[in-house]
């Protein structure tokens, strides 16, 4: 019994020791973990400083955005103005300068071209915010307004790819040219309307805008394409060496849309009575836009070739006939 009692005493003593040790260690462990600092409320001075910092960052971002937009709009405006000026003056030299600037700036620097993607966006009313795309809207509005005024002016003067093919035409020897017959040309021009129609129907059915990569070569100015795209581009540019302005004349969906709009053109190319029999301008036109006495407004890009001939009093039969009539009248 005494042995059992001693065991009980020892057990109770150990239990009491454990309880005392635990109670003593608990405050020590709590004391070892520092209490988190209490959140201090922001003072009015702190709030004012934060507002000033946010306002400064916002003003800096807006300033950078505005300066970039001003540069883009100014540069684009100058290129458009030069294109119009060269057109009004019928200056071939200024036209070449305008084409080079279009390729360099609108092409490789900005990759800014009117695309079938813009048609897709208009159909879904999904357009860039104006504050983020002033240059974009300037280009689109100019393209539409100039089409109503002069026809496919954008195609012949502004489009970077069209400018590139026209410059290519100036350096490729004429002996390499393969000109489609008039009857074949009249059929091929409808291909671009088929391309536009199929692209729009595909977009409306699928919502996929990436189809533009395989029907437009404009992506080339971004230097970002896959193997298939680069292969198709190489084939197209090689074919363009032989058939001048191949893509613009027969395959461009943007040209198709502007061709339709060009039927509303206000200021069309004038024709003389002698144009009914003379074929000089028709043979000169590199776009196949002249059919006897008629100017095909949906195909004409206002390249100026025929209009400069009209003004050439030593070559145009209209002026030659007038000179002969004046000479005969002077002898009477």
The ranges assigned to domains in the chain are 66-267, 269-332
How far from each other are the two terminal CA atoms of the chain, in whole angstroms? 167
Q: Does residue 202 contact residue 267 with C-beta atoms inside 8 Å? A: no
For residue 265, the surrounding DSSP H or E stretch is none
pLDDT at 173: 86
Per-residue pLDDT tens digits for 60-101: 544 555 788 899 999 999 999 999 999 999 999 999 999 999
pLDDT at 65: 55
Which residues of the chain, if any, have pLDDT below 50? Answer: 1-33, 39, 61-62
Distance, CA of 217 to CA of 271 (rounded, Å) = 35
Q: Does residue 275 contact residue 307 with C-beta atoms inside 8 Å? A: no
pLDDT at 55: 60
Within 13 Å of residue 263, how many CA atoms lie on the same side as its CB?
5
Instruction: Classify the C-alpha dihedral 214-220-226-232 as positive or negative.
Output: positive
Residues facing 291 on adjacent strands? 294
Tally of CB atoms within 10 A around 102: 26
Closest CA to 150 of 247, 317, 158, 116: 158
42: burial class by Cβ within 10 Å (0-12, 13-18, 19+)?
Answer: exposed
Q: Does residue 303 contact residue 156 with C-beta atoms inside 8 Å? A: yes
Model-level pTM?
Answer: 0.77
Tally of CB atoms within 10 A around 26: 10
CA dihedral 259, 261, 262, 267 (to 10 degrees): -160
């Amino acid at each position: 019994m005494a042995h059992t009692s001693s065991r009980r005493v020892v057990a109770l003593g150990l239990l009491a020791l454990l309880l005392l040790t635990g109670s003593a260690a608990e405050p020590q462990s709590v004391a070892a973990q520092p209490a988190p600092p209490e959140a201090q409320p922001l003072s009015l001075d702190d709030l004012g400083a934060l507002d000033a910092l946010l306002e400064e960052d916002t003003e800096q971002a807006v300033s950078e955005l505005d300066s970039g937009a001003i540069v883009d709009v100014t540069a684009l405006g100058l290129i458009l103005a030069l294109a119009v000026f060269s057109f009004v003056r019928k200056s071939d030299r200024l036209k070449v300068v305008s084409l080079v600037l279009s390729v360099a700036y609108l092409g490789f620097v900005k990759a800014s071209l009117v695309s079938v993607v813009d048609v897709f966006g208009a159909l879904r009313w999904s357009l860039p915010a104006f504050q983020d795309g002033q240059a974009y809207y300037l280009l689109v509005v100019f393209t539409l307004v100039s089409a109503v005024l002069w026809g496919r002016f954008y195609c012949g003067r502004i489009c970077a790819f069209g400018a590139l093919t026209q410059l290519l035409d100036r350096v490729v020897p004429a002996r390499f040219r393969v000109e489609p017959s008039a009857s074949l040309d009249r059929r091929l021009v409808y291909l671009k309307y088929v391309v536009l129609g199929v692209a729009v129907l595909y977009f409306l059915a699928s919502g996929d805008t990436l189809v533009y990569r395989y029907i437009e070569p404009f992506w080339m100015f971004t230097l970002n394409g896959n193997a298939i795209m680069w292969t198709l581009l190489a084939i197209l540019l090689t074919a363009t060496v032989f058939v001048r302005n191949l893509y613009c004349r027969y395959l461009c969906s943007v040209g198709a849309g502007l061709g339709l709009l060009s039927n509303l053109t206000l200021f069309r190319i004038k024709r003389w009575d002698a144009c009914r029999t003379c074929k000089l301008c028709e043979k000169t036109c590199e776009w196949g836009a002249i059919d006897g006495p008629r100017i095909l407004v949906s195909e004409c890009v206002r390249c100026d070739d025929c209009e400069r001939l009209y003004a050439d009093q030593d070559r145009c039969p209209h002026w030659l006939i007038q000179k002969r009539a004046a000479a005969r009248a002077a002898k009477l």
